[in-house]
């Protein structure tokens, strides 16, 4: 797992905030060969930005929290989210001298078992009025009842299990499409674009992996998805899995899980001579998958209910300058949902109930999409994109949903 610097110099933040406020509709993006990424959106002219109008006022000590992995399982996904949240807070504070917000981090470790304690610490901190996170579905399910009981607004930029909005929680909001959107879009891509008539669906034992596989299987049907294989979290040896795949001889492999297991799996598949197209979801779409797979990831297709960030040039440049690396999966979504919380604080909201009600009624454009939630906390606008590993880079393929 890698770490990135989590803070930016004040002068840099000031410069970046000015750039962000004046760089609407730039972009085009890049993909393999240096050309423009097909269909990658540019920054909307009306996108809400963290700086706002610079007139925000809030009490000293006002805070929002990040709850999610920083050093635990699949930490790269969490770091991409918390970095973007910190960037938004820094830019906001530089532009709003009368509203200095603190981002309080709670490292959940990324698992249901380890998430409860750190999240409880945020709940028990009265200065924390809202939370960005949690990144993963399993940990979100584990701490959801406590967050709901505390009445603290919780916007996840990345947890996709559809069941999270079916628990009766009134504080939970999802900043992206769920797996009931992503799964069918992937299945249609596999059948329509890849023309695969036999697919092997390999799933891990996480809430996320199980739920997404179910969505893909429902659309593919039992005749196409006739090969079903299970793996476990932290599994590193896949000879039995590879044997099953070789016996079934599918035309495509869909892996439903995270990059931590996907990297050694695809590496061992390729070493065994299995060159079947390998498709992974957003849990695999991270540069650490490419690094850990040591060349075997080339050609992998990666679905994600996240929008390409190439066209958001001001944001991407600011992130690169602040953290020494480009933004990754769900960085832009995290930046957007953090901006929404900051907008609420700028309006004078000083308690959890007020910020929760602000988010419930929010309707505004972000970098990635328009944010407006239905009664259960699901967005009304939920794009899905396909990406591709080209050499050692993840590049944009096309919008698929």
The separation between CA 103 and the C-alpha centre of its own chain, rounded to angstroms, equals 18
CA distance 219 to 93: 46
Q: What is the pTM of this model?
A: 0.87
Give whole-number Cα distances, 156 to 124, 139, 168, in Å: 20, 11, 16
Q: Are 330 and 176 in contact (CB under 8 A)?
A: yes
pLDDT tens across the length of the chain (401 residues): 333 333 333 333 333 333 333 333 333 333 333 333 557 889 999 999 999 999 999 999 999 999 999 997 789 999 999 999 999 999 999 999 999 999 999 999 999 999 999 999 999 999 999 999 999 999 999 999 999 999 999 999 999 999 999 999 999 999 999 999 999 999 999 999 999 999 999 999 999 999 999 999 999 999 999 999 999 999 999 999 999 999 999 999 999 999 999 999 999 999 999 999 999 999 999 999 999 999 999 999 999 999 999 999 999 999 999 999 999 999 999 999 999 999 999 999 999 999 999 999 999 999 999 999 999 999 999 999 999 999 999 999 999 99
Residue 151, classified by CB atoms within 10 Å of its CB into exposed (0-12), middle (13-18) or buried (19+), is middle
Reduce the DSSP state of residue 399 to 3 states and report it: strand
**Residue 258's closest CA among 173, 160, 132?**
160
Torsion of CA 339, 344, 349, 351, to 10 degrees: -60
**Strand spans (E) along 163-251:** 172-174, 199-203, 227-230
């Amino acid at each position: 797992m890698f770490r990135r610097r989590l803070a930016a110099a004040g002068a840099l933040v000031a410069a970046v905030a000015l750039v962000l406020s004046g760089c609407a509709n730039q972009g085009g993006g890049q993909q393999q060969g240096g050309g423009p990424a097909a269909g990658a959106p540019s920054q909307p002219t009306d996108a809400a930005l963290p700086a706002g109008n610079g007139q925000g006022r809030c009490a000293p000590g006002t805070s929002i929290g990040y709850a999610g992995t920083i050093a635990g399982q699949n930490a790269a996904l969490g770091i991409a989210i918390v970095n973007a949240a910190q960037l938004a807070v820094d830019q906001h504070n530089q532009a709003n001298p009368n509203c200095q917000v603190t981002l309080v981090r709670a490292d959940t470790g990324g698992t249901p078992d380890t998430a409860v304690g750190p999240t409880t610490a945020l709940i028990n901190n009265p200065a924390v009025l809202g939370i960005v996170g949690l990144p993963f579905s399993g940990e979100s399910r584990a701490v959801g009842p406590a967050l709901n009981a505390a009445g603290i607004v919780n916007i996840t930029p990345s947890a996709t299990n559809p069941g999270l909005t079916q628990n009766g929680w009134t504080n939970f909001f999802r900043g992206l499409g769920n797996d009931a959107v992503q799964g069918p879009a992937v299945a249609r891509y596999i059948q329509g674009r890849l023309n695969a008539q036999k697919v092997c669906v390999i799933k891990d034992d996480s809430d996320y992996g199980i739920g997404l596989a179910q969505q893909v299987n429902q659309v593919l049907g039992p005749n196409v998805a006739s090969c079903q294989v299970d793996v476990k979290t932290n599994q590193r040896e896949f000879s039995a899995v590879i044997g099953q795949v070789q016996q079934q001889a599918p035309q495509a492999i869909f892996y439903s899980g995270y990059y931590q297991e996907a990297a050694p799996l695809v590496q061992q598949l390729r070493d065994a001579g299995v060159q079947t197209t390998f498709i992974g979801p957003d849990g695999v779409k991270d540069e650490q998958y490419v690094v850990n797979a040591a060349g075997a990831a080339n050609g992998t297709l990666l679905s994600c209910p996240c929008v390409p960030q190439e066209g958001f040039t001001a944001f991407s440049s600011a992130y690169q300058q602040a953290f020494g690396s480009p933004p990754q999966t769900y960085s832009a979504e995290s930046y957007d949902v953090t901006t929404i919380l900051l907008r609420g604080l700028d309006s004078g909201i000083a308690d959890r109930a007020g910020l929760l009600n602000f988010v419930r009624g929010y309707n505004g454009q972000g970098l990635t999409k328009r944010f407006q939630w239905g009664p259960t906390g699901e967005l009304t606008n939920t794009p899905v994109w396909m990406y591709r590993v080209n050499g050692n880079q993840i590049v944009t393929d096309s919008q698929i949903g």
